[in-house]
Amino acid sequence: LQNFLTAIESAFGDVTASFDSEGKLVVTDNVSGESGLSVTLTENNEGGGTLNFGTISVDTVGGTTMRYDTGQDARMYLNGVEVTRSSNSINDVVTGITFSLLDAEPGTTIDIEVTRNISSVRNTIQGFVDAYNEVMTFINDQFTFDTDTMTGGILLGDSTLSGIQTQLRSLITDEVSGLTGEYTSLVSVGISSDSSGLLSIDSTTLDAALSANFDDVVALFIGQGSTTDSDIEYVSHTNDTIAGSYNVNITQAAEQAALSGSTAINVGGLSQAENLTITDLLTSESATVALDAGDTLSTIIDKINTALSQKIQEVHTSDTANTTDGSTPITASTTFGSIYGANVQAGDTITISGTDRNGGSVSTTFTISTTSDTVQSFLSAIENAFDGEVTASIDATGKVVVTDDTAGSSDLSVTLTPNNEGGGSLNFGTLTASTEGRGRIYVTASDSSGVLALTHDDYGSRTGFSVVSDVADLADGNSTGVGTALQQDYGLDVAGTINGEYTTGEGQFLVGNDTNDNTAGLRLQVTLTAAQLTSQGSSQGTVTLTRGITDQMDVYLDDALDTYDGTVSNHAELFQDQYDDFEAQIDRIEDRLELVEERLVRQFVELERAMSEIQSQGNFLLSQLASMTTTNT
């Protein structure tokens, strides 16, 4: 038999022939990847025997080995607060600090000591002083008059520029309202102004202030807020927010959407298989979690949390398979001329159209140069048409599969239209989403005294979810207690007032309305729970906002430089209007000059004509006089 196996290997080249443990013949392609290998053995039995190896068919399809795994977000706790990000580099939690997560060691606590870089802060302050002095120098140059040349700056005496200069000097020299302690003005930290309005820094005084009370020096420059209640946190403010201290009153705590089963799950687990479908009502993305008979509550929780945390790639699969002989599926290495019944001709084209994951239009044409072109060249054309954002392949049944390379919700659509110019019948069918892409569903499962509990990760009335099972509840508690009736819930937004002024709730965030006199744009995060609100009452202390020098300057300059209604743009518009008036006056004067010129030209022409007539008459008289003189003689 070994001689026979060797003959097979010699006939096919790079293959291995062997017998398995059941005595069946096995022929293996030694080159991994897609293969067109097929083997047929015909026993002629010339001696009258019955030797028979049977039909050799493919039981392992060659192909590129790919390992699919589900990515997970990075997760850590910082001072007891969970932080989840899609990257292992986290730089938006603590200002100025980047956490690079290099290894996962659950339960390990790492202490991080952060020290201030006084030198860097001093350089930043120096940069501000240099920029301010540059502006002041420009303004001073405009107001300079040279008595020798009798020339001055272009904006010499301009009242608007003078007003800007005065306002900037005032912001620099005034104390910051609301600050207490030693450092309430720039002078107190060693930054002083000379007679020209230019600033200078006493480095010794500034370094001493930064070392002694860094936070107070920071407050001197920036806008920041503080609260008297640990359940209320200052987040941000806008240019319209007025500095001051304001009472905070909460009438409703923010809540998360939450649902739980109607019965506890027995220790023995589910009595039958059950599918839970959980849908995020904001994004309309759904996930169906398959639960098996015998699954315990902890297993159910793990399955739900694993499924909901996954991001799914969208996959579109054609409904038509192509073969090479009526039964053998095509592969990427199949030539177009080998597609069964297609009768492809050189020059035939295929239109590739659709939309990318963002809804952008896609359209191109693939041309079959020769019938020996492989399907892989067409698959590559599909990928190129979608700018390399998809992967195109042929599945084991001979169908075209297009996969969005980016996991998450997708607007991908694909249409393949063979034009069959040569009269053939090539057909890839219609591609539809065999797997809908979706992002992570922010719902978390937990154990609530033996009952399955589901809670949305976010707060607010915009966030909610629904859950439904494909089996009815069982009285003995052997189901998840969800049942076939759809259950859904939405969260609640925080509600209340700041300084007695109206606010808008956005989940846990309370934001002063734009029409408020003092608190417009003031944003607070309220972590107060409904139970705490009941026990503590609605009054939740005060929030104090101070606006440092650079923060005030930022507001002033935003207003002054506003493109549509700023002081500078209005003044520039005034200059433009004056320029346009001068241009109009010049045009009118030039028009009058043209009229005067035309009148003078006409008068000059008339004068020339009159002089010409006078000259003609004089010549005539001279000729007459000459004639009379000759006659008399």
pLDDT 10s digits, 455-479: 999 999 999 999 999 988 776 677 8
DSSP string, 344-370: --TT-EEEEEEE-TTS-EEEEEEE--S
Give yes or no for residue 234 having a pLDDT over 50: yes
pLDDT for 633: 54
Task: Indicate yes or no: pTM above 0.75.
Answer: no
Residues 6+ apart with CB under 8 A from 286: 277, 278, 279, 280, 438, 441
* 117, containing H or E segment: none
| Distance in angstroms (rounded) separating the CA atoms of residues 523 and 248 | 12
* Each residue's pLDDT tens digit, 240-290: 999 999 999 999 999 999 999 888 888 889 989 999 999 999 999 999 999
Segment 389-433, tens digit of pLDDT: 999 999 999 999 999 999 889 999 999 999 999 999 999 999 999
- Element (DSSP H or E) covering residue 502: none
Long-range pairs, 497-500, Cβ under 8 A, ≥24: 497/248, 497/249, 497/251, 498/246, 498/247, 498/248, 498/249, 498/522, 498/524, 498/543, 499/244, 499/246, 499/247, 500/247, 500/249
Mean pLDDT of 437-442: 92
Query: Where does the pLDDT of residue 67 fall: very low under 50, low under 70, confident under 90, or very high at 90 and above?
Result: very low
* Stretch 326-345: mean pLDDT: 95
Beta strands of 500-556 (E only): which ranges?
Answer: 503-506, 509-512, 523-526, 539-547
Question: What is residue 65's predicted lDDT score, i.e. its pLDDT?
Answer: 46
Q: Are 510 and 247 in contact (CB under 8 A)?
A: no
> What is d(CA 558, CA 567) in angstroms, rounded to the nearest whole number?
10
> Are the beta carbons of 447 and 297 closer than 8 angstroms?
yes
> In angstroms, rounded to a whole number, what is the distance separating the alpha carbons of residues 360 and 337?
33
Report the C-alpha gap between 408 and 387 in whole angstroms: 18
Percent of the chain having pLDDT more than 70? 97
- CA 282, CA 310: separation in Å to the nearest integer? 17
Mean pLDDT, residues 491-508? 96
194, two tokens: 């000379």
As to burial, measured by CB atoms within 10 angstroms (0-12 exposed, 13-18 middle, 19+ buried), residue 357 is buried
CB 204 within 8 A of CB 190: yes
State the pLDDT confidence band at 68, using cuts at 50, 70 and 90.
Answer: very low
